[in-house]
């Protein structure tokens, strides 16, 4: 069934520029990670919540693909908010919410946004039509096989074949307090074959990622994202109270790069042959090359495209120039043969 599905999805576009990971077409090997650019477009220009300030200096259509924040069947406040039209006078309230869902830690960031999103219907109606110039990877998440089936069916109905790069199944998030091990096999078995679009499985380093990768290959998944954030905790040293509203959160940034590299290498050592989009602590061209040497086929910018520790984002143009330069180098780079 997986072979039939892949044959059905692959179009005769061999003359189109870009990179192919199985039946996934990327414009180049540098994509953006889920959540860091919201839904790929903002509703407010002054307080463009959800959109990295770097998006003002790097055309998003230049990336291999832009991954959306994870969307669910119904809207979710999570541990943050679904509101994305903040005005300047509302900045104090927004910063207070950020303080409960995001904290800078040694070598990275700890977040517990909890899948806050507007829901799949609102996303497909209000956001996706404005991002067609981008190559989109839609991240979807749910708490049951039925929810993933519903998400796939809704995307199938709204998005023609070939109009997006892929669906990314987020079956590994740590800040929604759910054990995805209980549903992952049935999600892959039932939701993947229904999809008219290639499916990417996002792996967690805290779960059995090699076992999950093998399940993904068995059920017709097209590629893997390695890795999701690492489960972490920070406490107020004076009171012992967790810094985040959810208690635990997902650690991202430089601190998890060695973990990401380990996971990619272990997947290849275990003879997992699915294409891998690597993420975790990537900022520079050398970071990208390390992941390619470890066995990745593409790389993804996460925290580096948003969570930079510069006051008021004053240095956004400089960071934007760095990312444009990284894009140019990746566009002209051929990973080592395996």
> Could you list the active site residues?
173
Q: How far is CA 43 from CA 112, 130, 185, 315, in A?
A: 23, 11, 37, 23
Give dist(CA 244, CA 10) in Å, integer.
44
The answer to whether the beta carbons of residues 271 and 293 sit under 8 Å apart is no
CA geometry: angle at 186 spanning 278 and 8, to 5°?
70
CA angle 198, 199, 203 (to 5 degrees): 150
**Exposure on the CB side of residue 110, measured as CA atoms within 13 A:** 19
**Using N-to-C axis directions, what is the helix angle for 257-269 and 285-294, rounded to 10°?**
30
- Is 324 buried (19+), middle (13-18) or exposed (0-12) by CB count in 10 A? middle
8 Å CB contact between 87 and 44: yes
**Distances in Å between the alpha carbon of 276 and those of 94, 112, 216, 292, 336?**
35, 25, 12, 10, 14
Burial class (CB in 10 A: 0-12, 13-18, 19+), 180: buried
């Amino acid at each position: 069934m997986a072979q039939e599905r892949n044959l059905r999805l692959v179009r005769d576009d061999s003359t189109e520029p870009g990179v192919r990971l199985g039946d996934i077409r990327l414009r180049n090997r540098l994509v953006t990670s889920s959540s860091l650019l919201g839904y790929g477009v903002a509703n407010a220009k002054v307080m463009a919540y959800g959109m990295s300030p770097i998006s003002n200096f790097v055309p998003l259509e230049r990336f291999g693909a832009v991954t959306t924040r994870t969307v669910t069947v119904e809207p979710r406040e999570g541990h943050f908010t679904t509101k994305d039209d903040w005005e300047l006078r509302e900045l104090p309230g927004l910063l207070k919410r950020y303080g409960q869902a995001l904290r800078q830690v040694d070598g990275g960031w700890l977040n517990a946004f909890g899948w806050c999103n507007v829901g799949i219907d609102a996303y497909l109606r209000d956001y996706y039509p404005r991002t067609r110039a981008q190559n989109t990877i839609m991240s979807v998440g749910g708490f049951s096989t039925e929810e993933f089936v519903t998400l796939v069916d809704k995307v199938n109905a709204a998005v023609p074949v070939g109009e997006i790069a892929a669906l990314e199944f987020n079956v590994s998030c740590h800040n929604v307090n759910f054990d995805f091990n209980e549903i992952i096999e049935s999600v892959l078995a039932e939701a993947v074959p229904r999809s008219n679009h290639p499916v990417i499985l996002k792996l967690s380093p805290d779960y059995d990622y090699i076992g999950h990768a093998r399940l993904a290959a068995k059920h017709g998944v097209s590629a893997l994202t390695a890795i999701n954030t690492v489960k972490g905790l920070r406490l107020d040293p004076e009171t012992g109270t967790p810094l985040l509203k959810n208690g635990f959160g997902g650690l991202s940034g430089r601190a998890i790069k060695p973990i990401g590299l380990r996971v990619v290498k272990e997947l290849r050592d275990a003879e997992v042959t699915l294409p891998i989009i690597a993420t975790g602590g990537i900022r520079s061209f050398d970071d990208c090359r390390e992941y390619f040497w470890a066995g990745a086929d593409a790389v993804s910018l996460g925290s580096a495209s948003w969570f930079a520790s510069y006051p008021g984002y004053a240095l956004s143009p400089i960071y934007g120039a760095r990312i444009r330069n990284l894009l140019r180098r990746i566009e002209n780079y051929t990973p080592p043969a395996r």
